[in-house]
Structure 1
Amino acid sequence: MQTLVDMELVRRLEDKAYQIRRDLLTFIYRIGMGHLGGELSLVEMSVALYYQYMNYDPKNPKWEDRDRLVLSKGHCGETLYTIFADLGMYTMDYMVEHFETLETAKFGMHPNRKYVPAIEVSAGSLGHGLSIALGMALGARKQKKNWRTFVIVGDGELNEGTNWEAIMSAGHYKLGNLVAIVDKNQLQMTGPTTEILNLNPLDEKLRAFGWDVIEIDGNDMYAVCAALQSLPPADPVSRRKPVFIISNTVKGKGVDFMENNPNWHGGGIAKEELDRALASVEKNRRVR
């Protein structure tokens, strides 16, 4: 049965995604570095989670009963930083001032949970977030806590074997309170994922490991909302299949000259490029 989503909610979240894209581009321009390709592809999913579908209080990021979000593709943490600023946790000026400074660094290219309370897991080396999220979900089961664990991985990151150990374990333990999301933008740093190490057919592999699979257009807010809205309750005791959302996205989404271009995997953006990028986001803005 198709999940029906309130269109007013979809429009509200699309407006927020538009704003976050603009703020993200400006933030990367100001700090001089980032991973815009994967950060832009992640916007719709991140916005839907933080503004609607996660049980989360930005005024109390360590609230014991919160849903957890592990950003395993941590090099795209600036997307979350931008959302945190919009939620009132920091100002953009404060984040710029404290971004990878020698004496007062709090925000880095890879998030550090010691300095940013809203970050659940410090990132850097890829391939570990799903295993940590698995442990969190098991912990919730043992404590009989009803919070849910989300984890976002990159498709290039799924080259790492530790992910497949975690995928096998989650299926074995039937962790229905675990939701994994792959930002499947088809590109990694050096080229297409299908050429570097082909994951396909990813859906069949995940089902074989004991997961329920939902496949969507991850840059379509209606599809994102429908997928997240369809999740069963986060019952830590009942044993049922974990859920894997294959979120098919476009690297550099919303900026014409960045889309599907591996050259925008990482780096900064100049003022002229920022102006072009903001104009492109405006042109590509979807109004329902």
Structure 2
Amino acid sequence: MHRNDLPSVQSGAKTPKLNTVLVWVTFTIERDYIERGAFPALRSQNAVIQHGSSSLHYMSAKSVAPILADARSRAAETSRGLRNSYNAFHRSLDHALKEAEERPALFHAPAAVCTYKHEGYSERWRGTKQQLKEMGIVLDGPWPNEEGGKERWAKAKDSKGRDSFITAYSKTWGGLFEVRIEIPERERRAALGASELEKKRALAQANLDSLPADRDDFRMELANDLRRILSVVIPTSPVAHHGFALTEDAVEAILMSADAVVEAIFQAEVSFDKAKHKAIELRYQQQIAECDQSFQQVLGQLTAVRPEMLERSAA
């Protein structure tokens, strides 16, 4: 069961320590325990909560260890139906142990933590009421799981006026909340546009960086291209669609011949059109600048026509 779906503890039940392991035992597992006389503490009458066909028990990590070992053993030796139940049980125990180990750090984090972010859709934050309020979450009235507050979730706003939905992180331990902030359509479009601009900028930057700096750089690029082509073309072992391959001696002879080609490349005369090369550099640099939003904003401010200047000019 997901932590946010935990039913409220029974009235008067003591709040457990943060590192408590939440163990849910189904009727199927409990019936097998009764038949075997195993783990007498894990009975419905001892449960903190009874929810549907499962009962919740608070346990320490140390006391869960033998239960987990037993679940894995029973999963390997029982019939199919019971095996499935024990497989599910030991997976839930693994998850519960991990959650119990990580839970104290979640509640004692120094600031709200972003647990998910998609610039086109939504983002989620987890923190205390004060931490979330400090980051701009506004909700008039009590928060979920507080006295007078809604049981499941409450609609709020963030500092930008965006719709936000607050839920209690846990109904067992109070004080920690999660908020999902919805990204409005206009922000989604802007984010997607920024993403496309970043891709174009990165491509233009990669193209600019790949331009050879001098004649030797150009020769080295040709030599590397030759080596890459040979590594693809020469089959050093049988390929998937037939059983033919060159022998090791043949491969070595071909590579030795390739060395001669590489040597010829490094001895070759290279022409250089400086004007063309510079024009290509400028084109890539312009593409990078066009994709830089901050640069475009400054440029827009510098080139914007100001009415007062026009009035002075007319005078």
Question: Shorter-chain-normalised TM-score: which range?
Answer: under 0.3
| TM-score, with structure 1 as normaliser | 0.25
More helix by share: 2
